[in-house]
Protein backbone atom coordinates (compact mmCIF):
# COMPACT_ATOMS: atom_id res chain seq x y z
CA UNK A 1 0.00 0.00 0.00
CA UNK A 2 1.18 3.53 -0.84
CA UNK A 3 1.04 6.20 1.79
CA UNK A 4 -1.78 8.60 0.86
CA UNK A 5 0.43 11.62 1.59
CA UNK A 6 2.83 10.53 -1.14
CA UNK A 7 0.13 10.63 -3.81
CA UNK A 8 -1.20 13.99 -2.66
CA UNK A 9 2.24 15.54 -3.07
CA UNK A 10 2.64 14.05 -6.57
CA UNK A 11 -0.56 15.49 -8.01
CA UNK A 12 0.26 19.23 -7.96
CA UNK A 13 3.65 18.50 -9.52
CA UNK A 14 1.97 16.53 -12.32
CA UNK A 15 -0.61 19.25 -12.94
CA UNK A 16 2.17 21.84 -13.03
CA UNK A 17 3.99 19.78 -15.67
CA UNK A 18 0.88 19.38 -17.85
CA UNK A 19 0.14 23.09 -17.49
CA UNK A 20 3.72 23.99 -18.39
CA UNK A 21 3.75 21.81 -21.50
CA UNK A 22 0.42 23.26 -22.69
CA UNK A 23 1.49 26.87 -22.08
CA UNK A 24 4.77 26.31 -23.94
CA UNK A 25 2.93 24.64 -26.83
CA UNK A 26 0.36 27.41 -27.20
CA UNK A 27 2.86 30.29 -26.98
CA UNK A 28 5.05 28.57 -29.58
CA UNK A 29 2.08 28.20 -31.92
CA UNK A 30 1.01 31.82 -31.46
CA UNK A 31 4.46 33.23 -32.13
CA UNK A 32 4.73 31.32 -35.38
CA UNK A 33 1.28 32.18 -36.76
CA UNK A 34 1.85 35.87 -36.04
CA UNK A 35 4.01 36.93 -38.93
CA UNK A 36 3.47 34.62 -41.92
CA UNK A 37 4.66 36.69 -44.87
CA UNK A 38 2.57 35.13 -47.64
CA UNK A 39 3.88 37.39 -50.38
CA UNK A 40 7.46 36.49 -49.49
CA UNK A 41 6.58 32.79 -49.53
CA UNK A 42 4.76 33.05 -52.88
CA UNK A 43 7.75 34.89 -54.29
CA UNK A 44 10.10 32.06 -53.33
CA UNK A 45 7.98 29.01 -54.21
CA UNK A 46 8.40 29.19 -58.02
CA UNK A 47 12.17 28.71 -57.57
CA UNK A 48 11.40 25.34 -55.93
CA UNK A 49 9.07 24.46 -58.79
CA UNK A 50 11.64 25.51 -61.38
CA UNK A 51 14.30 23.32 -59.78
CA UNK A 52 11.93 20.34 -59.77
CA UNK A 53 10.94 21.01 -63.38
CA UNK A 54 14.59 21.08 -64.51
CA UNK A 55 15.21 17.80 -62.71
CA UNK A 56 12.11 16.15 -64.18
CA UNK A 57 13.21 17.13 -67.69
CA UNK A 58 16.23 14.89 -67.18
CA UNK A 59 13.92 11.98 -66.40
CA UNK A 60 12.37 10.12 -69.35
CA UNK A 61 8.79 11.42 -69.50
CA UNK A 62 7.58 7.81 -69.90
CA UNK A 63 8.84 7.24 -66.37
CA UNK A 64 7.13 10.26 -64.84
CA UNK A 65 4.56 7.99 -63.24
CA UNK A 66 7.19 5.87 -61.51
CA UNK A 67 7.83 7.51 -58.16
CA UNK A 68 11.01 5.52 -57.54
CA UNK A 69 12.58 7.29 -60.56
CA UNK A 70 12.25 10.79 -59.12
CA UNK A 71 11.53 10.40 -55.39
CA UNK A 72 14.84 12.16 -54.65
CA UNK A 73 13.92 15.26 -56.63
CA UNK A 74 10.40 15.21 -55.27
CA UNK A 75 11.76 14.99 -51.76
CA UNK A 76 14.10 17.88 -52.47
CA UNK A 77 11.21 19.89 -53.91
CA UNK A 78 9.05 19.26 -50.85
CA UNK A 79 11.92 20.22 -48.57
CA UNK A 80 12.42 23.39 -50.61
CA UNK A 81 8.77 24.44 -50.14
CA UNK A 82 9.02 23.64 -46.45
CA UNK A 83 12.21 25.67 -46.13
CA UNK A 84 10.73 28.69 -47.90
CA UNK A 85 7.48 28.52 -45.94
CA UNK A 86 9.34 28.35 -42.63
CA UNK A 87 11.69 31.14 -43.69
CA UNK A 88 8.65 33.32 -44.32
CA UNK A 89 7.46 32.34 -40.78
CA UNK A 90 4.58 30.32 -42.20
CA UNK A 91 3.39 26.91 -41.13
CA UNK A 92 4.19 24.07 -43.46
CA UNK A 93 2.14 22.58 -45.05
CA UNK A 94 -0.31 25.44 -45.57
CA UNK A 95 -3.10 25.99 -48.14
CA UNK A 96 -0.95 28.20 -50.38
CA UNK A 97 1.94 25.72 -50.66
CA UNK A 98 -0.57 22.88 -51.07
CA UNK A 99 -2.12 24.76 -53.99
CA UNK A 100 1.30 25.29 -55.50
CA UNK A 101 2.29 21.63 -55.06
CA UNK A 102 -1.04 20.53 -56.57
CA UNK A 103 -0.28 22.71 -59.60
CA UNK A 104 3.09 20.96 -60.01
CA UNK A 105 1.35 17.60 -59.66
CA UNK A 106 -1.08 18.54 -62.45
CA UNK A 107 1.80 19.57 -64.67
CA UNK A 108 3.63 16.25 -64.36
CA UNK A 109 1.27 13.59 -63.08
CA UNK A 110 -2.03 14.46 -64.76
CA UNK A 111 -1.69 11.44 -67.06
CA UNK A 112 -0.81 9.02 -64.28
CA UNK A 113 -3.55 6.83 -62.90
CA UNK A 114 -3.40 6.32 -59.14
CA UNK A 115 -2.57 2.67 -59.88
CA UNK A 116 0.58 3.66 -61.69
CA UNK A 117 1.88 6.19 -59.20
CA UNK A 118 3.15 4.34 -56.17
CA UNK A 119 2.56 6.88 -53.44
CA UNK A 120 3.83 5.60 -50.18
CA UNK A 121 1.22 5.19 -47.47
CA UNK A 122 2.37 4.98 -43.89
CA UNK A 123 1.99 1.47 -42.51
CA UNK A 124 -1.16 0.74 -40.54
CA UNK A 125 0.66 0.50 -37.21
CA UNK A 126 1.87 4.10 -37.47
CA UNK A 127 -1.59 5.35 -38.47
CA UNK A 128 -3.20 3.54 -35.55
CA UNK A 129 -0.61 4.94 -33.14
CA UNK A 130 -1.16 8.46 -34.47
CA UNK A 131 -4.90 8.08 -33.94
CA UNK A 132 -4.60 6.46 -30.53
CA UNK A 133 -2.23 9.00 -28.95
CA UNK A 134 -4.76 11.89 -28.76
CA UNK A 135 -7.51 9.47 -27.69
CA UNK A 136 -5.39 8.15 -24.85
CA UNK A 137 -4.31 11.66 -23.83
CA UNK A 138 -7.98 12.71 -23.65
CA UNK A 139 -8.80 9.65 -21.56
CA UNK A 140 -5.90 10.39 -19.25
CA UNK A 141 -7.04 14.00 -18.78
CA UNK A 142 -10.63 12.93 -18.05
CA UNK A 143 -9.42 10.31 -15.59
CA UNK A 144 -7.22 12.89 -13.90
CA UNK A 145 -10.09 15.40 -13.59
CA UNK A 146 -12.48 12.75 -12.23
CA UNK A 147 -9.84 11.47 -9.86
CA UNK A 148 -9.05 15.00 -8.64
CA UNK A 149 -12.71 15.84 -7.99
CA UNK A 150 -13.17 12.53 -6.14
CA UNK A 151 -10.16 13.28 -3.97
CA UNK A 152 -11.39 16.76 -3.08
CA UNK A 153 -14.76 15.17 -2.14
CA UNK A 154 -12.97 12.91 0.31
CA UNK A 155 -10.76 15.66 1.67
CA UNK A 156 -13.65 18.14 2.29
Ligand X SMILES: *[C@@H]1O[C@H](CO)[C@@H](O)[C@H](O)[C@H]1NC(C)=O
Among 14, 15, 72, 145, binds ligand X (CB under 6 A): 72
Q: What's CA 100's distance to the chain center, in Å?
A: 18
Phi, psi of 131 (to 5 degrees): -75, -40
The site string for ligand X over 113-152 (x = CB under 6 A, - otherwise) reads: ----------------------------------------
Dmax (CA) for the chain in angstroms is 77
State how far the alpha carbon of 14 is from the alpha carbons of 21, 32, 121, 141, 151, in Å: 11, 28, 37, 11, 15
Q: Is 68 in the site for ligand X (CB under 6 A)?
A: yes
CB 48 within 8 A of CB 102: no
- Site residues for ligand X, window 75-94 (CB under 6 A)? 76, 80, 87
The site string for ligand X over 32-51 (x = CB under 6 A, - otherwise) reads: -----x-xx--x-------x
Residues that bind ligand X (CB under 6 A): 37, 39-40, 43, 51, 66, 68-69, 72, 76, 80, 87, 108, 110-111
Amino acid sequence: MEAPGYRRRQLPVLLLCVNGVMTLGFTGACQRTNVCNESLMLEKLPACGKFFEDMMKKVDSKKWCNLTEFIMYYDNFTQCTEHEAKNASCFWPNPLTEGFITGIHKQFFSNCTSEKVHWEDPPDEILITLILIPVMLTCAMITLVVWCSKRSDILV
